[in-house]
Every structure is written in structure tokens, then in C-alpha cells.
Amino acid sequence: MPPVRVLVVDDSVVVRKLLSEAIVSSPEIQLAGTASNGAIALARIPQLNPDVVTLDIEMPGLNGIETLTEIRKLYPKLPVIMFSTLTEQGAEVTLEALSRGASDYLTKPTNSASLANAIEQVRRDLVAKILSLGHRNRASQPAPVLRAQKRKTEANPIEILAIGTSTGGPNALAEVIPQFPPDFGVPVVIVQHMPPLFTRLLAERLDSQSKLHVHEGRAGMPLDAGHVWIAPGDYHMRVVRKGLQAALELNQEPPENSCRPAVDVLFRSVAQAYGPNVLAVVMTGMGSDGAHGAAHIREAGGEIIVQDEASSVVWGMPGAVLSSAGADLICPLPEIGNQVLRKVEASRLRTSNATARSAV
């Protein structure tokens, strides 16, 4: 397979050099060219025909958001990775870029003692993103599917919804969570792979868009219906039972699947705390985080929905869950919210009917 061609766009000579050296360190990636501002980038895209663009957010002239907007008009399927600072302003602009169609993002290295260390940090984080997005951009995508895997299980009441996602996840969550009504009958816990600060701003953004109350996870908070909790960056989030009440627990134990927070950690905990009364959803994301945790949920009798390949930015996580743990339903992103609502409402109706019959 030919190497993935990358156009690097950044006004800083140092950053362009850093990214270029990180990119050429992989034999599977080729530096197609560089551009020092958005206008030059837009002129060079048709000349260089890149598979992926890395785009700085803060640039003179056309800034990153404005350049991204033009790229999306002209090249709607060209993957774009935003390159931002790990600051509140950088996080806010990155989330805005993701909402406008950026495929993924990377934060600039901090506290690097040398250029070599900075290059290694970028290389480690960037190469996998470029390869995943670049190969997907070249591949022809299958048509969306909606199908169930037959499994003999009893219809257990759903008491919690657990969601895992990564690359493309902020937009996926922005499509799914606002569909839930204010009387949504179960608590929601989410792992979205993001660094500190980004997860808080993501929670605030989703809270402003949703009928449910969306928060960044805090240790000891009880899990009540009508509330959504997003694992904070750099912390694993677990669900633990305290008598009849479930609550959140945070820790900084070693990363799993190179991730902290990790979906596997959350999924294992909900399987242990809720047994068969779990509905889990795995959406777009790079890597395989969530596959082992999903197996625990399936073994406990819970249900799993995975996003289909066609509607995923990257089908790594949903595909890994499907391959290793299986799923009860595979469906495109626009259908996930409806399917979750249908399952939760059916569960509440069964529970209500059972309670009425026992009272007779």
C-alpha cells in the first residue's frame, strides 16, 4: 500500500520541522508538503492531493477554524487533524473545530527537554492517527447496516447506560445525548478519550445542548437518572456500589490500552456493579479500548450496541468489540439514540408491568 501523504499546515517554522521529522520517521507516511498559513494550504491541496492534513489552530490571516471551514466546503471527506495548545482557549477552539468537521486533534507537546523528546511525543501520538484516518479515507465504505446478533438472553431491566468512544466521539456524543428526554430513566456514564480540561469543556458543551444534566465525573457522586457523567481526563472512572446506591470512583492507576481514562475500566466496573442490567454503547474510536470490558458486560448478561463502520470516523473500537465480544445491535450513528431510547423505555415498561402484577 502506498504511504499516506500528509500536508502540514502551521505558521511556526519550528513546529513544521517537528511535525515533518515525526512524519518521515514512519515508512508508512510521506510528507506531501508544508504550508505556513491557511491560504497557502488551500492553494496547495489540489496540487499535492494529500490523504491527511494537520492544521494549526492559531495562525495569522486565515486561522485554523476558517481554513477548516473552507476545506470542508471543497473537500468534505479529507481527514483533518487539528494541532492545538493544551490550554482552556485551545480546548474550546478544538471542540469548535471538531463540531465543524475536524476528524481528530493533537495537543502540542509541553515541558519537552529537547527537540528529540518533543518529536518522539508527537510521533507516538500522531503517526497512529494519520495512518488510521489516511487508510480509511482511501478505502471504499460499506453501506450502513442495522442488524442484530441472535443471542438467547432474558429481557433484563436496564439500570445504567455506559458509553465508550474516542476519535470522532465528541460529534457522536453531540448527536446521541441531546436525543434523550429529561425523564430518561437511567444514569449515563461515558469515557471519551480526551486530556484534562478538554473533558470538562466537552461536558459543559453537551450540557448546554441536552435536556439531561451533563457533568465531568467527580469522585463520590451518586448515579441518578437524568444525569450524564464524563470521565475526567487523566483519570480512570469506575462505578461502585455503596449499599443500594451506585457512585463514581476516580483513580490514576496505570493506563490501559495506552488510555487514561479507559473504556475497559468503566465497562468492567458497570458489569460488576449492575450485572445483567447494563446497556453499553461503543462508538467511533481508534484502537481496541472497550473490547475486554464489553466481554465482561456480555458475560454478565448485559446488552451492547456498536456503531457501524460506515458512519464511524474510525471503526477501531466498535470493530474490536464486535470481533472479540460480539454485539446485540450494529447500527449507524443517526439510529443509536433511537435504539437506546427504545430499549430503555421498553425496560421501564416491563418493570412497571411486573410491579403492577406483583401488587395484585
| Whether 289 is catalytic | yes
C-beta of residue 321 within 8 angstroms of C-beta of residue 302 = no
Residues 6 or more apart whose CB falls under 8 angstroms from that of 248 comprise 189, 217, 218, 219, 220, 221, 223, 229, 237, 238, 239, 240
Our measurement of the distance from residue 71's CA atom to the centroid of its chain's CA atoms, rounded to an integer in Å, reads 22
Secondary structure letter of residue 259 according to DSSP: B
Residue-wise over 299-318: b if at least 16 C-beta within 10 A, else e? Answer: ebbbbbbbbbbebbbbbbbb
C-beta of residue 146 within 8 angstroms of C-beta of residue 332 = yes
* C-alpha to C-alpha distance for 190 and 16, rounded to whole angstroms: 35
Catalytic residue from among 11, 193, 264, 311: 193
| Whether 308 is catalytic | no
* β partners of residue 227: 213
* β partners of residue 189: 162, 229
Catalytic residue from among 289, 311, 312, 347: 289
| H/E stretch holding 278 | strand 278-282
Is 247 in a helix, a strand, or coil? Answer: strand
Is 303 in a helix, a strand, or coil? Answer: strand
Residues 6 or more apart whose CB falls under 8 angstroms from that of 188 comprise 160, 161, 162, 163, 177, 180, 212, 227, 228, 229
| Whether 227 is catalytic | no
List the Cα angle 297/300/305 in 5-degree steps. Answer: 35
Quote the crossing angle between the two packed helices 169-176 and 88-99, to the nearest 10°. Answer: 70
* C-alpha to C-alpha distance for 338 and 149, rounded to whole angstroms: 18
Residues 6 or more apart whose CB falls under 8 angstroms from that of 69 comprise 100
Catalytic residue from among 36, 132, 166, 312: 166
Query: Among all residues, which ones are annotated catalytic?
Result: 166, 193, 289
